[in-house]
Structure 1
Amino acid sequence: MGFHVDAAEPNRLAPLISVSLGRPCIFLLEASENIPGPQLPHEGAAGVLDESTGNTILPIILHHGDVLISGGSSRLAYHAVPKLLCWDMKTQLPSDLLSDLSNNFIQAHPLGNALSKSEVQSSLEAYVHSTRVNMNVRQVTES
């Protein structure tokens, strides 16, 4: 997803809460001021200066289950998710989750009995392995 600002709702002062599910990603946050990055053991973690705008672009890796809260000046900052990263979903998800989802699908879906549990589970694994979901919570109107 390219650079954009979440500014469609009337209330732009309330913080925006995002929950990442699935594959990890690189989240880029553009700031009009220099933001010191976290102290990480590798170079380039403090952000990159965009010569054309003079803004700092801060890269953040979001993993499955991470929560990001954008408030204050970061609430209306440009941001993007240019890249999904590889992940080992078996270490990130409960071991019985895909099996339980497969059973539920077979019981609830009209065509569920036409497929074997291994076919359903294989399809679910492929989908979960290739997908990232970002769930946002925001206050749309002023209270």
Structure 2
Amino acid sequence: MSRNDDIIEVQQLLAKYAVTMTTGDIDGVVSVFTPDGTYSAFGDVYTLDQFPRLVEVAPSGLFMTGTPLLDLADDGTGTGTQPLCFIDHTQTDIRIGYYKDTYLRTDNGWRLRTRAMTFIRRNGEHNSGRPHVVDLARD
């Protein structure tokens, strides 16, 4: 596989993340991660088994992502940063920031291994947000 093929595959993977988050397709979201993949935001790290509950309590809306800046290594690992603008569909509130990612080439193609959200605040501060007040362990 060529470097350009790898870049296109990772870009499509990240597009799938944005589209499946926008459409509420939890299985689709989970499918873009490695089995040990994690998502970090709000002061916590979430494993894939927590994703359905995490998405359930999160606001819904449009996930608009920009072209990622990728650094893919020949050994099948990589890192990247991708800008995000999220628009809540109920109030059209906007959240902006970026994802810091790690990637791994698997037998099923490139996958996200880790995704960490950083919000950009009105005061210019960059942070991971306030801790969730929701108990994700709830049935």
Fold shared per TM-score above 0.5: no
Higher relative contact order (CA 8 A, sep 6+): 1
Q: TM-score range by the shorter chain?
A: under 0.3
Larger radius of gyration: 1
- TM-score (norm. length: structure 2): 0.25
- TM-score (norm. length: structure 1): 0.25
Q: Which has the higher strand share?
A: 2
